[in-house]
Amino acid sequence: MLENKDSLKTPISSMGEFALIEHLTKHFDVKQNSTIKSIGDDAAVIDHKKQTVVTTDLLIEGVHFDLSYMPLKHLGYKSVVVNVSDIFAMNATPTQITVSIAVSNRFPVEALEELYAGIATAAKYYNIDVIGGDTTSSTHGLMISITALGEVAKEQVVYRDGAKENDLVLLTGDLGAAYLGLQILEREKQVFKVNPNSQPDLEPYSYLIERQLKPEARKDIPKLLKELGVKPTSMIDVSDGLSSEILHICKQSKVGCMIYEDKIPLDPQVITTSEEFNMDSTTIALNGGEDYELLFTISQEDYPKIKANPSITVIGHILKPTEGTHLITRGDTKIPIIARGWSATQENQ
């Protein structure tokens, strides 16, 4: 006779808050020399000899993720990635994170174990310490708040406000895949509602779905730039779409820019799937978001150092502020860049 599956689940209420935190964090090891005191006291203690960089993100079920197709282990991993990506965008190295969750009683302890397994996997990959956090109850599903800390030498930190006229605009990787991965998952969710026995063939969309469910932050880029002797004049991560991010740089740096449509890197799956959905691939690249690539500017003198690198593409250049912010289309038409990226009012993005 088969056991009742629910009987194998441990309700959160069976454990006190401190016992739950201890249970979920017992496998986290300290790797960073800057971590003096980790989990287990009133507060963590860190000692960064360099400048400390701090960022935080809040992920809310039904707004930022949908558990009908987002596995909890992937969610834990992704929640770390979105934070360390901001650290890399400062040309810094992530060192520690804190993890706080609010969770409803529909989640058993085993579900939280999956979530924390993803967090632990990401912490190991990005070589960061989990040094604390909190758990509390929620009446509406799951919320995750992660704060990431990093370190950077004072002379190496890069802000959004340093772009200068004639600088080149560069981008790592390719854009649009994460947004299209979301569209595929949403489509299959609707199909499943109509026919629960349907089995989707997701193989043709593997790259797109991976970019949505298990993105990676570009930890290789700060290290690469240092090895090449290149310090960006400005930098930002592409979390809300290329249009929003380049406008952030231009506004903070008080400059204009010219971006070339035919230079924006797109994966072949993005091109074919855009056609399938009858969507414009450039529009998706400009406005899709969640790519977690790095957008940055460098002086033209540094171009010879990076021109042979396949991970980086020059997509435009910086202009005087009076020139405005424009996209040159493949048809050689000049159109204004308008931010239509992700906003918190959009659900499931």
User: Domain limits of the chain?
Assistant: 10-152, 168-336
Closest alpha carbon to 314 in 304, 323, 326: 304
Q: Quick one: what percent of the chain has pLDDT higher than 90?
A: 80
The pLDDT-based confidence of 80 (bands split at 50, 70, 90) is very high
The answer, yes or no, to whether residue 262 has pLDDT greater than 50, is yes
Q: Give backbone dihedrals phi and psi of 249, rounded to 5 degrees, phi first.
A: -60, -45
- pLDDT tens figures, 149-198: 999 999 999 999 999 999 999 999 999 999 999 999 999 999 888 888 87
Task: Please answer whether residues 212 and 78 qualify as being in contact, where contact means their C-beta atoms are separated by less than 8 angstroms.
Answer: no
pLDDT number for residue 16: 67
Q: In the CATH scheme, what is the homologous superfamily, with its name and number, of domain 10-152?
A: PurM-like, N-terminal domain (3.30.1330.10)
The answer, yes or no, to whether residue 336 has pLDDT greater than 60, is yes
d(Cα 177, Cα 215) in Å, to the nearest integer?
Answer: 10
The pLDDT-based confidence of 347 (bands split at 50, 70, 90) is very low
Mean pLDDT of 77-81: 98
pLDDT number for residue 13: 73
Higher per-residue pLDDT: 134 or 342: 134
Angle between helices 109-125 and 72-88 (to 10 degrees): 30
State the virtual CA torsion across 257, 345, 111, 218 in degrees, nearest 10: 0
Cα–Cα–Cα angle for 183, 188, 192, nearest 5°?
A: 150
Closest alpha carbon to 290 in 206, 349, 228, 246: 349
The pLDDT-based confidence of 328 (bands split at 50, 70, 90) is very high
The pLDDT-based confidence of 67 (bands split at 50, 70, 90) is very high
pLDDT number for residue 344: 44
The pLDDT-based confidence of 8 (bands split at 50, 70, 90) is low
The pLDDT-based confidence of 342 (bands split at 50, 70, 90) is low
d(Cα 243, Cα 282) in Å, to the nearest integer?
Answer: 10
pLDDT number for residue 346: 42
pLDDT number for residue 147: 98
17-31, 38-52, 222-236, 327-341: range with lowest mean pLDDT = 17-31
d(Cα 173, Cα 94) in Å, to the nearest integer?
Answer: 20
Tally of residues, the chain: 349
The answer, yes or no, to whether residue 243 has pLDDT greater than 50, is yes
With a CB cutoff of 8 Å and minimum separation 6, the contacts of 72 are 111, 112, 114, 115, 118
pLDDT number for residue 197: 82
Tokens of 277: 């959905």
d(Cα 63, Cα 61) in Å, to the nearest integer?
Answer: 5
Closest alpha carbon to 290 in 218, 348, 238, 248: 238
The answer, yes or no, to whether residue 349 has pLDDT greater than 50, is no
**Where is 114: in which H helix or E strand?**
helix 109-125
Q: How far is CA 89 from CA 99, 142, 275, in A?
A: 21, 28, 32
The answer, yes or no, to whether residue 2 has pLDDT greater than 70, is no
Which amino acid is residue 139, in one-letter code? Answer: T
The answer, yes or no, to whether residue 231 has pLDDT greater than 90, is yes
Higher per-residue pLDDT: 302 or 11: 302
The answer, yes or no, to whether residue 89 has pLDDT greater than 50, is yes
Q: Which CATH architecture group holds 168-336?
A: Alpha-Beta Complex (3.90)
The answer, yes or no, to whether residue 343 has pLDDT greater than 60, is no
The answer, yes or no, to whether residue 205 has pLDDT greater than 60, is yes
The answer, yes or no, to whether residue 14 has pLDDT greater than 50, is yes
